[in-house]
């Protein structure tokens, strides 16, 4: 996951996208590494693509994630174009939602003031 995150953040930096990343994936949980990668890869690919439609000085991706008890909340925000519509379930969003459901969680998306917001809640037993 470190390699994936490093790769995606390098792509973002190469496109002049400011990134603020503060996430600590739990070392022990029932969530498989591949499922973390599905969420992060799809979400960051979407955020990077959306940033291409924004003027360079406004390009931004925020990644935050924290654990509280048996819950993990991941938020990824990015600036998007003024005319961005709420996406239908494409492959990326569908994969993220499927992983969230697999762990009794939920994935929600919203667009507010040209900011696309993805929130993924997972129930992560530490046993």
pLDDT on residue 111:
93
Domain that holds residue 88: 2-123
Cα separation, 20 vs 123, in Å, equals 25
- Domains identified in the chain, total number: 1
Of residues 41, 113, 125, the one with CA closest to residue 84: 113
76-117 residue pLDDT tens? 999 999 888 887 767 889 999 999 999 999 999 999 999 999
pLDDT on residue 18:
95
pTM: 0.91
CATH code, domain carrying 48: 3.30.565.10
């Amino acid at each position: 996951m470190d390699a994936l995150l490093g790769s995606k953040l390098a792509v973002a930096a190469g496109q002049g996208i400011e990134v603020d990343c503060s996430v600590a994936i739990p070392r022990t949980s029932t969530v498989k590494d591949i499922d973390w990668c599905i969420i992060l890869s799809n979400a960051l690919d979407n955020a990077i693509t959306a940033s291409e439609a924004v003027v360079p000085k406004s390009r931004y991706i925020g990644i935050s994630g924290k654990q509280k008890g048996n819950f993990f909340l991941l938020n990824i925000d990015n600036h998007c174009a003024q005319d961005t519509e709420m996406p239908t379930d494409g492959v990326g969003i569908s994969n993220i939602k499927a992983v969230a459901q697999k762990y009794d969680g939920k994935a929600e998306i919203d667009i507010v003031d040209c900011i696309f917001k993805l929130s993924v809640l997972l129930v992560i037993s530490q046993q």
